[in-house]
Amino acid sequence: MKLKLIPIAALLAATFASPSALAQKKEVVGIAGKEILLGHINPYSGPASAYGTIGRSIAAYFKKVNEEGGVNGRQLNMISYDDGYSPPKTVEMARKLVEQDKVLLIFQPLGTPPNTAIHKYMNAKKVPQLFVATGATKWNDPKKFPWTMGWQPNYQAEARIYAAHILKNKPNAKIAVLYQNDDYGKDYLEGFKAGLGAKAKTMIVKEASYEVADPTVDSQMAQLQASGADTFFNITTPKFAAQAIRRAWDSGWKPVHYLNNVSASPGTVLRPAGLDKSVGLITSRYLKDPTDKQFANDPAVIEWTAFMKKYYPEGSLVASENFYGWCVAQTMVQVVKQAGNNLTRENIMKQAASLKDFTPSCLLPGIKMNTSATDFAPIESVQLARFDGKDWVGFGEVMGK
Amino acid sequence: MSRNNLIVIAVVLAAACVLPLMVSEYRTFQFTLVLVYAIALLGLNMLTGYNGQISLGHGAFYAIGAYCAAILMDKYGVPYWATLPVAGAVCLVAGFLFGLPALRLEGLYLALATFALGVSLPPLLKYHHLEQWTGGVQGISILKPDPPEFLNGLGIALNQDQWLYYFTLAVTVAMFLVAWNLLRGRIGRAMIAIRDNHIATETMGVNNAMVKSLTFGVSAMYTGIAGALGAIAVQFVAPDSFNIFLSITLLIGIVIGGLASIQGAIYGALFIQFVPNIADDISKAAPWAIFGLFLLAFVYVLPAGVAGAIRMGMARLQRKRQNP
């Protein structure tokens, strides 16, 4: 008979295993004595687990900050959970961080679907969802979502810069656009058209889209070439970007070719496409590239390399994700620093929205982070870069806001 | 059902009822998900445990149910409770239709066919002609239901999570009652008989094809209703929410909980909800390796699932009592 009580016992055990019952009441949420609790969600497993290393490099940077005395004398304690890039899991983990661990904020959730899943929740709970790791434009919407902020240049901002470059250098260009038929592709296209302004209708002579499930973009490329365009804006993810670059070269089209930053990786895109066929491509960037020889002696890259060796020795020195994590973590520290002793969620959001010319060394020279109560997009400027057959070489002024 | 069994069920139900009053909202949300998984696992258990048909694609039915609820709520303003019968009906038909051709497939071949269903659904949800309903990769955000007005009139103040928990609990109890009724009767016996020896069953005059297809349909219906409840609890659906791993997770749940056991669905649901979190707490570097260890331990120590272990333990105890 006693064994029949096992289901009840199991249920009760699961209930009381929750540490929330033991959690103490604190004065300010997320602050325990000399500790600041930061929540973090990252895909350590699942389809996007390649990005898991971002979370590790962020944790390593916070460790470094703590060893050096913390921020305003407080230690940063980051609680990091795995969501496996699965939106329901992101919701669960965000609720755990907010309701059980009682963190001050959630930092750097990765990916558009996971962030979308918690967007309304975070704003309803009034908990900062800071510096999300996605380029969608919707994170910059302080009116409707005053508790969510992006970090990297968003797709529309980036596309506007290509548009500005075309308007300046080739005002009579005939433009063909290839885009992925989803919100990412449409986000870019919208920004591009906004950048061209009234001339968009006449300058864009042909648009073609493809589905992620399509095997190739050959037929789309043929249509675009047949339109007689002399300029090509390539809004594609890595696999299709490689196909389009190769096709544009092989077919003898050879337009002025703008490639979105999403697919600017020499290793995964340009090498498969053919490095010789990639010469002259134009893209944009905002971070220094630790694998780029131009930056080999740059103080930021030297500092980062030393940091990696000391605090994250198992991390890869050629993975740009680790450089990204190091950079975004500095922004987080800056916000906490600015908040001083007033570590409420309201003040954190206020400080995140008052970055003034913040320039960590990881950014390309001339790029600054600026935010305001109506501008929740920290990085809005980029530098254009041209591929010389080996590396991306930056050229021209930093463009954007 | 013996008196003792009734007492145990009453106590478990009472514990389930007071649970959300004793734990945080976040825990309540987690237990709501446990109930959701329990319904889905019960559905899969009918098919795999009772009827012997292996499905590696039940995540697809879960997704269909979830999308039914989300689309109805978001695009047509249907109240959340009314989406459940629709989700169930759609999945019943989908499951039945899928079950018809699947009749020709046995064992591993059926597993592969259902696997195909599980892997092909998420990309289909992103298909651009369906985008106006499915929202593409962006998915659909839905609002969490508020407790009904009349509760306030009665002086009962529940928050959204607690209300949703009780709503889900009521659905779960109803679904379990229906399943219990179905499985202990003529149809349940036919399902088990087909699993154990389908030729003998046919000789006994059972329409094997019909029973198998219907089982597929009912199983899909359960999973679909669970999917709808899950979508309402999570407030969001997207293709990335329903990858093939969901189907595998459901299969893990029924094996751990106990095949061909109604109460096993609850143990399985507790396992798939909580063990990954425990694994993540133990190791950030390799949470799935820890999860694998848990899985191995369970399979070795409890080869008949948790429900089977409890059954065997009780039988042993009874024997001891009879011949001390």
> SS3 letters for B167-194?
HHHHHHHHHHHHHHHHHHCHHHHHHHHH
Q: Please answer whether residues A181 and A208 qualify as being in contact, where contact means their C-beta atoms are separated by less than 8 angstroms.
A: no
Give the tens place of pLDDT for each residue, A167-205.
999 999 999 999 988 778 889 999 999 999 999 999 999
B208 domain-assigned:
yes
Q: Is B288 a domain residue?
A: no
- On the question of pLDDT at A12 being above 60, the answer is no
Nearest chain B residue to A180, by CA: B128
Percent of chain A whose predicted confidence (pLDDT) is above 70: 93
Tell me the ipTM for this assembly: 0.81
B199 to chain A, closest Cα gap in Å: 37
Residue B241 maps to a domain: yes
**Per-residue pLDDT, A5:** 55
- Give the pLDDT band (50/70/90) at residue A23: very low
Q: Show the beta-strand stretches assigned E in A254-333.
A: 256-259, 282-285
How many Cβ contacts (< 8 angstroms) between chains A and B?
A: 138
In a domain, B75, yes or no: yes
Q: How far is B68 from chain A (nearest CA, A)?
A: 17
Domains of chain A: 26-153+286-381 (3.40.50.2300), 155-285 (3.40.50.2300)
* Residues in chain B closer than 8 A to A41 (CB atoms): none
- Per-residue pLDDT band at A9 (split at 50, 70, 90): low
Contacts of B238 in chain A (CB under 8 A): 87, 113, 116-117
Burial class (CB in 10 A: 0-12, 13-18, 19+), B119: middle
Question: In this predicted structure, what is the pLDDT of residue A11?
Answer: 54
Q: Nearest Cα to B271, choosing from A201, A10, A89?
A: A10
In the predicted structure, residue A8 carries a pLDDT above the cut 70 = no
Task: Flag whether pLDDT at A22 surpasses 70.
Answer: no
- Tell me what percent of the residues of chain A surpass a pLDDT of 90: 70
A15 vs B263: CB contact, 8 Å cut-off? no
Tell whether B281 is covered by a domain. Answer: no
**Interface contact A212-B126, CB threshold 8 A:** yes
Has residue B228 got a pLDDT over 50?
yes
pLDDT at residue B87 is higher than 50: yes
CA of B111 vs chain A CAs: smallest distance (Å): 22
Give the number of other CB atoms < 10 A from CB of residue B289: 12
User: Looking at the domain assignment, is residue B319 inside a domain?
Assistant: no
Across the range B280-293, mean pLDDT stands at 82
B239 versus A22: the higher-pLDDT residue is: B239
* DSSP code of residue A230: S
Q: Residue B162: which domain range?
A: 26-269
Residue B179's domain is classified under what CATH number? 1.10.3470
Nearest CA of chain A to the CA of B142: how many Å?
A: 9
In a domain, residue B14? The reply is: no
> What is the C-alpha separation between A202 and A200, in angstroms, rounded?
6
Q: Are strands B236-237 and B140-141 parallel, antiparallel or unpaired?
A: antiparallel
CA distance A85 to A103: 21
Average pLDDT for B95-104: 87
> Is B26 in contact with A99 (Cβ distance < 8 A)?
yes
Of A20, A100, A116, the CB nearest to B141: A116
Residues of B in contact with A181 (CB under 8 A): 128
Q: Can you give the pLDDT at residue A21?
A: 40
Q: Are B22 and B165 in contact (CB under 8 A)?
A: no
Q: Is residue B2 part of a domain?
A: no
Question: Could you say which residues from 52 to 91 on chain A have a Cβ atom under 8 Å away from some Cβ of chain B?
Answer: 80-82, 84-88, 91
Predicted confidence (pLDDT) at residue A401 exceeds the cutoff of 80: no
Q: For A12, which of B15, B234, B236 is closest by C-beta distance?
A: B15
What is the tens place of the pLDDT at every residue in A95-151?
Answer: 999 998 999 999 999 988 899 999 999 999 999 999 999 989 999 999 999 999 999
Question: Does residue B170 surpass a pLDDT of 50?
Answer: yes
**B256, B309 contact by CB (below 8 A):** no
Give the best residue of B6, B141, B240 to mutate against chain A (max A CB count within 10 A): B240
Please answer whether residues B102 and B263 qualify as being in contact, where contact means their C-beta atoms are separated by less than 8 angstroms.
Answer: no
Chain B residues within an 8 Å CB radius of A99: 24-26
Q: What is the pLDDT of residue A78?
A: 95
Mutate to test the interface with B, among A51, A116, A186 (most CBs of B within 10 A): A116
pLDDT value, residue A20:
44
Overall number of domains in chain B: 1
Mean pLDDT, residues B74-79:
92
What one-character DSSP code corresponds to residue A153? P
Structure token pair of residue A319: 């993975």
* Cα–Cα distance, B185 to A353 (Å, whole number): 65
